[in-house]
A and B are shown apart, each in its own frame.
Chain A
């Protein structure tokens, strides 16, 4: 009897002590870490499977996507205090390519901190382009290898979106080609987007978070601007439609979640 009394008192006490002692995070964020950004391409809530799955958009056009490639760059991370870390421009452009599976960007040497928002550009800005072909580093070679450049004069393709479609008026599967870019320095279609992480990405010498973005390819034609392929199926240099596509493309990114941790496996 006495024993059980003591036991229950001990249990009760330990419950109180332990439940009050947790919350201090022994996470002093120091040093530098790597921020991984996963661009998880999707369409209509499904994982994007090239040449396989088809979907029907709000304009009643049914698309099968065969290619989705885009250039992202000028990454900036803002921490909880509003301090902005800008990733070095020279190493700051990446080609996200669904065909090759290159869909993760790694930003190295990011200073320790609690980051709450992410800003990046879709395409290549004029500043970079005006550095000339010599100033492009690996980007130009990589873009040439992945069908992301027309010619040096015409410039980079910021977005390469291809496939086939049908519509109520076009019943045979017809190719569509959407190549959007800035066309030299005459038409600037470089756009930026800022995403609230909805959580915190914790960076330190042993914390390398993964920011998992969902990219909705459906937004390219069926976003803020509605672009009907039955009207024009090949859009490359269009003073009217290219800027609309650029706006739509900049709105195709959302943060699904942030995975904090060592980032060694994933």
Chain B
């Protein structure tokens, strides 16, 4: 399965290299820029997991848009503490309304409002569903280095650097009953806590190539059920190349690597067994731009992982999004 997806990605990449014009003949309208965002690594903790999700690609380009994104994540977790304990299959689904807006010359505001619908299937084939609003995130970024306006294809490398932070608001429900009977504590709509993020994004573009680096850290606090998810570190590197087809179309395939690290969760101030861990992913995706619209698909597959002491496994993540530049 993994190899199939990877080979499809590689093929897509190859075809686009063969067919794509390396340069647009005319200066591109600004609406034709890839919108692959820097900030979409801020998936909230639940469903996206105490094994927090991140689906990020960043181009470092400063677009302002409104978008809708679907993120599907597949996990499995042990229903019990033994080597032969059955697995629970978990499907985490999130639809996010997200936007990026400029606030003056140097600031960018980023907001994400998720709706979650999660399912888990126990070994006896019984299912549990939870759905509702997830935790909303609002982030502010200061642009230390900003891309020169209107230079879409620059002769010299262009650098961007943004630092900032924000808050995750407990708009999603945290139900302590979902902690029982399963070792995956992340089967929740929200963490139930006010969490705080700091992060930085660096991007470099040269001609139609780009590379981006991002890292962010989430400080999580105790919720009113005395449960505290562990702090979380996300980091990623992405490379991409944009191919322009005439004035209206652009295609941007991308490849990257990313990792996530989680501290142990706590309940009533006491460490919770079999929580915390880390996962390292390979990522691939493609974005198609048409005028002011962008359609993207990306996937993340684990390269190595040790989540919840091996009791939780992430299988894959898939993201599909549509953005409109504004």
Contact, CB under 8 Å: A4 / B274: no
**Considering the chains assembled together, what is the distance between the CA atoms of A212 and B181 in angstroms?**
12
Taking A22-B222, A22-B228 as given, write out 14 further A-B residue pairs in contact, using a Cβ cutoff of 8 Å, ordered by the A residue number: A1-B104, A4-B140, A7-B140, A11-B140, A19-B219, A27-B268, A40-B80, A40-B82, A46-B82, A46-B83, A47-B85, A257-B273, A260-B267, A266-B181
Question: Given the known A-B contacts A8-B142, A11-B167, are A1 and B267 also in contact in the complex, defined by CB atoms under 8 Å?
Answer: no
Contact, CB under 8 Å: B196 / A19: yes
Contact, CB under 8 Å: B104 / A4: yes
Contact, CB under 8 Å: A214 / B81: yes
Chain A interface (Cβ < 8 Å from any Cβ of B): 1-5, 7-8, 11-12, 14-15, 18-19, 22-23, 25-27, 40, 42, 45-47, 49, 53, 199-200, 202, 212, 214, 256-262, 265-266
Chain B interface (Cβ < 8 Å from any Cβ of A): 80-85, 103-107, 109, 138, 140, 142, 164-167, 176-177, 179-181, 194, 196, 198, 219, 221-222, 226, 228, 267-274
Q: Which residue of B lies closest to A210 (CB)?
A: B180
Question: Given the known A-B contacts A7-B140, A214-B81, are A19 and B221 also in contact in the complex, defined by CB atoms under 8 Å?
Answer: yes
Q: Which residues of A contact B273 (CB under 8 A)?
A: 199, 256-257
Contact, CB under 8 Å: B109 / A4: yes
Partner of A15, one of B167, B179, B226, B228: B167
Question: Given the known A-B contacts A1-B104, A3-B104, A257-B274, are A202 and B109 also in contact in the complex, defined by CB atoms under 8 Å?
Answer: no
Q: Which residues of A contact B142 (CB under 8 A)?
A: 8
Question: Given the known A-B contacts A7-B140, A8-B107, A15-B167, are A202 and B83 also in contact in the complex, defined by CB atoms under 8 Å?
Answer: no
**Considering the chains assembled together, what is the distance between the CA atoms of A25 and B181 in angstroms?**
25
**Considering the chains assembled together, what is the distance between the CA atoms of A214 and B83 in angstroms?**
13
Q: Which residue of B lies closest to A1 (CB)?
A: B104
Contact, CB under 8 Å: A12 / B165: yes
Q: Which residue of A lies closest to B193 (CB)?
A: A22
Task: Show 9 A/B contacts (Cβ-Cβ < 8 Å), sorted by A.
Answer: A4-B103, A8-B164, A14-B196, A18-B196, A22-B228, A27-B268, A202-B268, A256-B273, A259-B180
Expressed in whole angstroms, the minimum distance between the Cβ of A199 and any Cβ of chain B is 5
Compute the total of residue contacts between A and B using a CB distance below 8 Å. Answer: 99
**Considering the chains assembled together, what is the distance between the CA atoms of A214 and B180 in angstroms?**
18
Contact, CB under 8 Å: A42 / B82: yes
Q: Which residues of A contact B83 (CB under 8 A)?
A: 45-46
Q: Which residues of A contact B194 (CB under 8 A)?
A: 18
Q: Which residues of A contact B103 (CB under 8 A)?
A: 1, 3-4, 7
Q: Which residues of A contact B179 (CB under 8 A)?
A: 261
Contact, CB under 8 Å: B107 / A4: yes
Q: Which residues of A contact B106 (CB under 8 A)?
A: 1, 4
